[in-house]
Amino acid sequence: MTLEGRIAVVTGASEGIGRGLAIGLAEAGADVILASRRLDVLEEVRSDITGRGGEADIMELDVTDLDSIRVAHHSLADRGLDILVNNAAVSVNRDAWKISEDDWKAVMDTGPKGVFFCSQILGSVMRDRGYGKIINLSSTLSRGVVPGASVYATSKAAISHLTRALATEWASSGVRVNALAPASTMTPSRAAGMTPEREANLEARIPLGRLGTIEDLVPAAVFLAGPDSDFITGQTLYVDGGWTARS
């Protein structure tokens, strides 16, 4: 699968899954625009991509700020946009009795709100050209839940449902909207705080017996971003080692 000649924006590309997906899309041939509030870290990601022979630019973007998204739209209007990966997210892991309004706002403003308005504003570039792929990052927690993830799980369920709604409305414009839903994924930041007991607990929930990796997610993202998935829209693709099947 090749993405040669495609322009892709990845939000939350400074670290973790966003960084990994950006690198994977670039290795598949896309010209990737790395979007985040952290320009200094994005420079590191760009250097990583160009060092591998890929193409990447950086863009300052706060997905909770509609003016920031509109500025991004202005820069893309002439250049074009083929692929949008809505990855930026905030996670709050806390007992539901202890969730504050600020916790709720942080998760929801970055999650469903950010995904919707990035899709609406940036996706209009795709609409005007009659073709595009939007990939929203959902989670296995959109289907099943674990203690301490009430708000995060709610945000991911909203994103999967929003994916279906936008796909239904925008199909006639040539814009396909799908979601990618990983199970627990081992990223550098997660690995740094992972205890053997916690890892064993997570692995026990996954029929394939291990945590996911970014390398597991990249082929699925490239598939959803490329022409081989042109007749797929409104779907949430679970890359979860069987977690949702067991749940």
| One-character DSSP codes across the chain | ---TT-EEEEETTTSHHHHHHHHHHHHTT-EEEEEES-HHHHHHHHHHHHHTT-EEEEEE--TT-HHHHHHHHHHHTTT--SEEEE---------GGG--HHHHHHHHIIIIIHHHHHHHHHHHHHHHHT-EEEEEE--GGGTS--TT-HHHHHHHHHHHHHHHHHHHHHGGGTEEEEEEEE-SEE-HHHHHT--HHHHHHHHHTSTTSS-EEHHHHHHHHHHHHSGGGTT--S-EEEESTTHHHH-
In a domain? residue 82: yes
Lowest mean pLDDT among 147-161, 181-195, 206-220: 181-195
CATH of the domain at 227: 3.40.50.720
| Residue of 116, 117, 152, 170 marked active site | 152
Domains contained in the chain, number: 1
193 in a structural domain: yes
Decide if 1 is inside a domain: no
In a domain, 2, yes or no: no
13: domain range?
Answer: 7-246
Q: What confidence score (pLDDT) does residue 52 get?
A: 94
Query: How much is the average pLDDT of 84-101?
Result: 95
Q: Please report whether residue 151 resides in a domain.
A: yes
Instruction: Report if residue 116 sits inside a domain.
Output: yes
* Residue predicted with more confidence, 114 or 205: 114
Query: Would you say residue 75 lies in a domain?
Result: yes
To the query of whether residue 131 is one of the catalytic residues in this protein, the response is no
